Structure 1
Amino acid sequence: MGLLNAQRLAIRTARCYLCPLSTAKSWLSTKTGLLGDKNILLMGPPGAGKTTVGKIVAHKLGLPVIDIDDNVLETTWKMPVAAKLAAVGGKRFLEEEGQVLCNFSASGCVVSLTGSNPLHAQAMQHVKKCGLVVFLDVDTEDIIQRLSRMKVNRIVGQEAGVSMRDLLLYRRQFYEKWLDVRVLCGTGDTVDEVAEKVLKAVERYQEHDKDIFVSTRCDSTALSDQKAYFSDVVIEGLAADGGLYVPKNGFPKVDPREWLRLVPMSYPERALVLLEKCIHPLDVSPLDLRTMTFKAYGSNFSSERVAPVNHLIHNQYVQELFHGPTASFKDLALQLMPQLFACCLPLMCNYLILVATSGDTGSAVLSGFSRLSGADRHRTGVLVFFPEEGVSEIQKLQMTSYREGNARAVSVLSDFDFCQRTIKRMFGESGLTGHLAVEYSTVLSTANSINWARLLPQVVYHSSSYLDLCRDGVIKFGEPIDVCIPTGNFGNAMSAVYAKQMGIPIRKIICASNHNRIITDFITTGEYDLRERHLLHSHSPAIDILKSSNLERFIYHVSDGSSHLVKDLFTRLDTQKHFQVPEPLLGRIQQEVLAGWCSEDDCLAAIHSVHTQTGYIMDTHTAVAKVVADRLQDGFCPVVLCSTAHYGKFAPAVYKALQIQNIPEDPAEQLKKLEIAASRPGMHREMVKCLRNEGRTGHTVCQADYSVLVDEVENMIHNSFLNVM
């Protein structure tokens, strides 16, 4: 203790002074830290290691260290903190502690807060003005064990009959409220490891300019002075050069001990931690992100687990991604993406979201943006284009049921590729975008999976499926799994690639195609050939796609960021409808992913077979994944099938597969009868409700003409933003 007190005295004398006009201490550092003259404020529950970690961080930075308990409270009160607590009681203690902190002043120091400081709002508002709050997020069970070893059996605010565990869980909401940066501490992390995480977290916060995005077609060595941050790419959607945005430095790697922390967490909790690692806090604050995440994955999902993983048969598991409001995996992204979009919006413009859909994206984006409120909703419009004959009847009814507010869907007498190609052309024509900006103060954006904010939330559910298998004892962390994904646009598969990059032990990503099989042919041969190729309708319309947008991100990934190669290949695809990747690159592609395709008959046979054996009804897309997994997966590890939609969305095909006769014409009646045949999963209530409420009035049908779709865009702008009463 003598040495420690001598160190404290030396710090106070050399780097700090006592303000003569106040009884409070004012601490000023003579050195410039990572944050300039701002303090690093370590926050967390008792036993989190704030004091010890603070000393290590301060030593490495050469900055003063202040422990609020020892250096501020006990000095002010002239008695030990424990004695003060015993003398005045819990409630009075919190108030007096907070008042002392309100008079505290420091600059350029490392400050270890008390475990109860965050419970006093005025005090935290005061210290946050000149400091960065770093939350040491330590597992509750670890905290309880540490306090037990320290022989601490009661903490501030713990009333009789309240367990330590319950009080720590109660306090967590206050830590979440005030944090600027989270340091997720894995079980078994040493104080030195935690201190290193603190330094990296503070450095990341300070170096926002490094947390930027680049286009897949832009040479990173010739970047312009204008940097694209997360908030920029959410709004822009597509890069100005026609490429897709990707993080310049890739995805953060998550330590295995940190992954283990996520295993017992709920889906929203997992999502929040992972998204914080991928979104810089200066783009979206942790508090805002928490609010958005818990709203996105709350009561709007029919399953409390949001994206549950259930055993299907043998070594196959199914991740049910259809429990959101529109019964599609798109809800996992599009219940969050509109909130991110609204948060990042500049104040001066209106924004029209253009979306091309092959089925599920349309209703999901309409649902997500319809949940915005206030000014965000009034200056954001959504226009969805879908192929009139390329979606199921239920998908069409879901989309066209949105007629009120600034959201609607129109169909096109063509296929999905035409719709997507037309939207990309609109974004690329500066004359059109300039006209809309000048005449209507309206900027175009997109919510397709080419938008980074659409793709990023999908990384969460691939990670969550692995964590669920760990939680349920199917595997131990570190053991591999395969995932099989029905894919056409490659966004879902790409998000699995990114989950693997973050540290999820995915062995093989298996891409499953229907008889359009463009992805399968490319991964097998390295040749992408649209010449003389025509889109074929199928029982799995969401993957009826020939031009796969997110394949561009994949080639950028496997080529180690060769933007020159990506630009060359996709320029050739645009002009010549064909490209061939170099042989070495094809080898890398085939190391990363497998691919197969499924015929229409095999798709229906798989639905029938699984239902006969298990009582489980798959939708047509999940059946495509099942068939391909059966053919390509070797059985040496579990395989997770991505169930991307509820079977009720494709009722006629499922009736055919189950060989049920006398199909009702009315979609609502189809679902009612189909529910009787299913033992699991249950019918999707929101989808049934939507069909019952549907007025069955007509919708706009457009010719496959670019100028006609541009007219629809202008009409939408007039109706959404210019009808001022």
Structure 2
Amino acid sequence: MSTFHSTRSSDEAFTSKQAIRKGIADDGGLFVTDALGETKIDISDLAGKSYQQIALTVLSVLLDDYTEEELSQCIAEAYGSQWSDERITPVKPLGNDFIMELFNGPTCAFKDVALQILPRLMARTTPADGDCDEKIMIVTATSGDTGKAALAGFADAQGTGITVFYPQGKVSRVQELQMTTQQGSNVNVCAVDGNFDDAQSTVKRIFGDRDLASRLEADAHVRLSSANSINVGRLVPQVVYYFSAYAQLLEQQVINVGDQVDFVVPTGNFGNVLAGYYAKLLGLPVRQLVVASDRNNVLFDFLTTGTYNSKRPFFETTSPSMDILVSSNLERMLYYMSERDPRMITYLMNDLAEWGTYEVPPEMLMEIRKVFATGWADEDQVREMIADCWDRNHYVIDPHTACGYFVMQQMPADPQVPRVLLSTASPYKFPRVVNEALGLKADGTDFECMDELHAKSGTPIPQMLRNLENAEVRFRDCVEVSDMGHYVEECADRL
């Protein structure tokens, strides 16, 4: 059975259930397994398999202390009628390329793929030290989409509560309403006076606060865990859709077994593209993973120079879920690329914490660049690409996907290697930006913008987004960054 340990130390070993329940290692590192890549997945029999069947194959390898029955139950509950397409993540032609829709779940963003199954995986973990009364409080920072997807997944889940922090005024109006109107007796939503990096780094500090942890366990029998992609249970379900994309290309006779594929991935926190790297290590013929950024192009600079520098201007863009300067999941990739050297990772992360920057050795950068290509788009280019994609393909994309679309257009095409662009959110989550790009009416409410986009494009409005107009706002809290820990404690007491 494979074991998990921190990226910063291999001293303590955990099962995948224990790693998922803990969320983050005690030393601040992320959970990884050295067994990753030892077992390869047979790609020759992918074609014709349902998403659920592929998920069982992939997750059985990655989470091998769950029984087949447990995984089958989790998968059946997570990928059922709450999805508007039975293929879950359908791959569709886009000119000479392909687009994989990751937004057909209940909150219209790619985070649903993992956050519909994470609460089910979490429910099948067991409390530490035999404390049967122990409850889990999920604490998560969101740059826009994770929050709602986590809330939807964990709402009224037995034995758990959830607290979501989002940066005040730095998510779209639709994203904010999705969170603040969330139903459920165990949910808490709070704005933070700061940006996403402030919220995320503070959440990490909350996890590392031993005094807080001991108070919560003593007073409320509560243990903290995470629904961000720092939690390995959030990350590994995303590996499945890369295999699903390959299966669909096989079925459409675009490729033969063994042919290579490129994936273009809009990403801020590096989790979405890291899942593709895991798929490659598991034997999927991925030629390149293309990291697409917005104007906050810290990943672009790192992948081209080897220097990661978070001490830079922070830009609020039309792709708020990618407005991130500290990409947490990069740490896992660095661990594998450093030949699994936790001492190097500790050294790099200490530099990041102390100086806001670190530099990887040139030979390591060379290895990274064999797998990861990169590009970025500014605001004007994002708008141009939304219009270009509609004009050429009669397909509406959101601003995050538009970053990837722009980068894909800049790449030299190889007719032998299909390119799949990952589409991360419904355009109806950002109707004002999309309408402006398409030259449509954009001066009314977000809901009037939705109606205009629907009328002019003929694309269906996801009803759960349209219904937000008249939903009751339940949460109006806003705290300073310094008060986030206190807020979590109050929420835990109510649990």
Q: Could you tell me how far 1:671 is from its partner in structure 2?
A: 1.6
Structure 2 counterparts to residues 642-657 of structure 1, below 5 A = 642-657=422-437
Aligned counterparts of 1:439 and 1:293: Cα–Cα separation in 2: 35
The DSSP-based 3-state class of the residue aligned with 1:344 is coil
Aligned runs of 1:147-226 on 2, under 5 Å?
Answer: 208=1, 211-218=2-9, 220=10, 223-224=11-12
Query: What residue identity is the alignment partner of 2:431?
Result: A
Q: 1:634 aligns with which of 413, 418, 440?
A: 413
Name the aligned partner's letter for residue 632 of structure 1. Answer: M
Post-superposition offset of 1:408: 2.1
Residue in structure 2 matched with residue 278 of structure 1 by the alignment: 62
Which residue matches 1:370? 155
Which of 325, 328, 348 does residue 569 from structure 1 map onto?
348
Any gaps of 5 or more consecutive residues in structure 1?
A: 1-207
Structure with the bigger RCO (C-alpha within 8 Å, sep 6+) is 2
| Alignment partner, residue 398 of structure 2 | 619
| Partner amino acid, structure 2, of 1:381 | G
The counterpart of 2:204, out of the listed 424, 440, 443, is: 424
Q: Using the TM superposition, give the Cα deviation of residue 402 of structure 1 relative to its aligned residue in structure 2, in angstroms.
A: 1.4
Secondary structure in 2 matching 1:511: strand
> What pairs up with 1:387-426 in 2 under 5 angstroms?
387-426=167-206
- Give the aligned residue type for 2:267: T
Q: Which amino acid aligns with 2:253?
A: G
Write the distance in 1 (CA, Å) between the matches of 2:19 and 2:335.
Answer: 17
Q: Say whether the 8 Å CA contact 1:252–1:278 is kept in structure 2.
A: no
Q: Structure 2 stretches of 5 or more lacking a match?
A: none
* Cα drift, residue 698 of structure 1: 5.4
Alignment of 1:584 with 2:375, yes or no, is no
Aligned partner of 2:8: which letter?
Answer: R
- Percent identity at matched positions? 35
8 Å contact from structure 2 (residues 156, 184) kept in 1: no
C-alpha deviations, 1:677-702, integer Å up to 9, x for none? 2245x32233223x145124651111
Kindly report which structure 2 residues correspond to 1:655-694, keeping only aligned pairs within 5 A, or say none: 655-665=435-445, 667-680=446-459, 682-689=460-467, 691-694=468-471
Letter in 2 for 1:303: D
Give the counterpart of 2:244 among 451, 464, 474. Answer: 464
1:59 is matched with which residue? Answer: none
| Cα deviations by residue, 1:244-273 (Å, 9 ceiling, x for unpaired) | 111122134335xx3232210111111112
1:246 pairs, out of 21, 27, 32, with 32
Alignment partner, residue 305 of structure 2: 525
- 2:115 is matched with which residue: 334, 345, 348? 334
2:452 maps to a residue whose letter is K
Aligned counterpart, 1:264? 48
Tell me the amino acid that sits aligned with residue 562 of structure 1: D
Deviation (angstroms), 1:401: 1.0
Q: Match of 1:356, as an amino acid?
A: A
Note if contact 1:399-1:408 (Cα within 8 Å) is conserved in structure 2.
no
Paired with 1:688 and 1:633, the residues of 2 have a C-alpha distance of 39
Q: Paired residue for 2:86, among 285, 301, 304?
A: 304
Give the alignment partner of residue 382 of structure 2, picking from 591, 598, 603. Answer: 603
Which secondary structure state, in structure 2, belongs to the residue aligned with residue 341 of structure 1?
Answer: helix
Shift of 1:703: 2.1
Q: Which residue of 2 aligns with 1:293?
A: 75
State the aligned residue count: 490
Deviation at 1:661, TM superposition (A): 2.5
Preserved CA contact (<8 Å) 1:253 1:501 = no
Give me the whole-angstrom Cα distance separating, in 2, the residues matched to 1:696 and 1:318: 35
* Larger CA deviation: 241-250 vs 567-576: 241-250
Separation of aligned partners in 2, 1:560 and 1:693 = 53
Tell me which residue corresponds to 1:117: none
Once the 2 structures are TM-superposed, how far is the Cα of residue 303 of structure 1 from its aligned partner?
0.6
SS of residue in 2 equivalent to 1:645: coil
Structure 2 residue identity aligned to 1:245: F
Q: Highest CA radius of gyration, 1 or 2? A: 1
| Contact 2:156–2:185 (Cα < 8 Å) also in 1 | no
TM-score by length of 2: 0.96
Letter aligned with residue 275 of structure 1: L
Give the whole-Å Cα distance in 2 for the aligned partners of 1:514 and 1:235.
33
Which of 229, 254, 268 in structure 2 is aligned with 1:474? 254
SS at match of 2:287: strand
Distance 1:633 1:679, change over 3 A: farther
Counterpart-to-counterpart distance in 2, 1:547 and 1:633: 30
**Contact 2:168–2:193 (8 Å) recurs in 1:** yes
Per-residue CA deviation, residues 387-431 of structure 1 (Å, 9 max, x unaligned), is 011100000000111143101211111100010011111111211
Supply the distance in 2 between the matched residues of 1:615 and 1:323 (Cα, whole angstroms).
19
Measured in 1, the distance between the counterparts of 2:343 and 2:277 equals 22
Q: What SS does the corresponding residue of 2:325 show, helix, strand or coil?
A: coil
1:359 aligns with 2:148: no
Please name the residue that 2:100 is paired with: 319
Q: Secondary structure at the match of 1:630?
A: helix
- Output the amino acid matched with 2:341: S
Provide the residue aligned with 1:435 in structure 2: 215
Query: Does the Cα contact within 8 Å between 2:39 and 2:61 map onto a contact in 1?
Result: no
Distance 1:671 1:298 in 2: 27
Structure 1 position 714, deviation (Å)? 1.6
What residue in structure 1 maps to residue 486 of structure 2?
711
Task: Give the distance between the partners of 1:583 and 1:543, measured in 2 at CA.
Answer: 27
Distance in 2 (CA, whole Å) between partners of 1:621 and 1:486 is: 6
Comparing 626-635 and 591-600, the one that deviates more: 626-635
Residues 251, 614 of structure 1: alpha-carbon distance in 2 compared, 3 angstrom cutoff: same
In 2, the alpha carbon distance for the partners of 1:345 and 1:620 equals: 40
Task: Give the alignment partner of residue 271 of structure 2, picking from 467, 491, 496.
Answer: 491
